[in-house]
Chain A
Amino acid sequence: NAGVTQTPKFQVLKTGQSMTLQCAQDMNHEYMSWYRQDPGMGLRLIHYSVGAGITDQGEVPNGYNVSRSTTEDFPLRLLSAAPSQTSVYFCASSSAGTGGGYTFGSGTRLTVV
């Protein structure tokens, strides 16, 4: 059971480039979320999904796009990377019955130069 898998683990982008962070879960969870973690800031919610075809914005959605065409996958797209998007990104998933007990991936460390 792989849980939540994120790829890549590390990425360096130039300002203005676009890229997609991949996230896949094999637990048949309904809920999936993307967070960013910055030093001293905790984790902040970017976007979330309650099921295939349904997504919504979180606390810090600007500059990011998501879609959810299947239950398993929830990619995060950076449209035009900026240095302010340098961060560690975590994908998480949860079953509707766990009251918010999310399972997290191991993260993608992104640097924008």
Chain B
Amino acid sequence: AQSVTQLGSHVSVSEGALVLLRCNYSSSVPPYLFWYVQYPNQGLQLLLKYTTGATLVKGINGFEAEFKKSETSFHLTKPSAHMSDAAEYFCAVSALPAYSGAGSYQLTFGKGTKLSVIP
């Protein structure tokens, strides 16, 4: 079984400040990890993903995340927050179907972190 914990349901940062959204996962098999962003009244958009290879992953809009196996973490960062970054962010985990027993990649989501950017 897999699970995701996002620390902080609501995070506020000042415009231009560092954004750090925390995600810890639990998985008994090699995980695939994702960050999605949801703007108000919209669907989810993939920000970035880690499957294999380089543990520092760069995504869209200047975001990046680092997979740390020893810490079971996949925190999302951005050096300088913009007003347009205000949204809800979801961390998710999946695994190769051969490992998970499911017929396909199935995402398990965290409960989300709402990011507010203060002018």
Q: Which residues of A contact B (CB under 8 A)?
A: 4, 30-31, 33, 35, 40-45, 48, 50, 54, 56, 58, 90, 92, 94, 96, 98-107
Report the Cα distance A56→B106, complex, angstroms: 11
- The complex places the Cα of A73 from the Cα of B90 at a distance, in Å, of 26
Contact yes or no, B32 A100, CB < 8 A: yes
Given contacts A99-B105, A104-B43, 11 further A-B contacts (CB under 8 A): A4-B43, A33-B107, A35-B109, A42-B109, A48-B104, A54-B103, A90-B43, A90-B44, A92-B44, A94-B105, A104-B45
- A102 and B44 CA atoms in complex are apart in Å by 9
| In the complex, residue of chain A having the shortest beta-carbon distance to the beta carbon of B52 | A99
Query: B80 within 8 Å of A by Cβ?
Result: no
24 A–B contact pairs at CB < 8 A? A31-B104, A33-B106, A40-B111, A40-B112, A42-B90, A42-B109, A43-B44, A43-B90, A43-B109, A45-B106, A45-B107, A48-B102, A48-B103, A50-B104, A92-B44, A98-B105, A99-B49, A100-B34, A100-B107, A101-B46, A102-B46, A104-B36, A104-B44, A107-B43
Residue on A nearest B51 in the bound complex, by CB:
A99
Kindly state the separation between the CA atoms of A98 and B41 in the bound complex, as whole angstroms: 26
A3 and B105 alpha carbons, distance in the complex (Å): 19
- Residues of chain B within 8 A (CB-CB) of A94 are 104-105
- Chain B contact residues (Cβ within 8 angstroms of A): what range? 20 to 34
In the complex the two chains form, is A42's CB within 8 Å of B111's CB? Answer: yes
Beta-carbon contacts under 8 Å, B64-119 to A: 90, 92, 94, 102-112
Residue in chain A with minimal CB distance to B33: A100
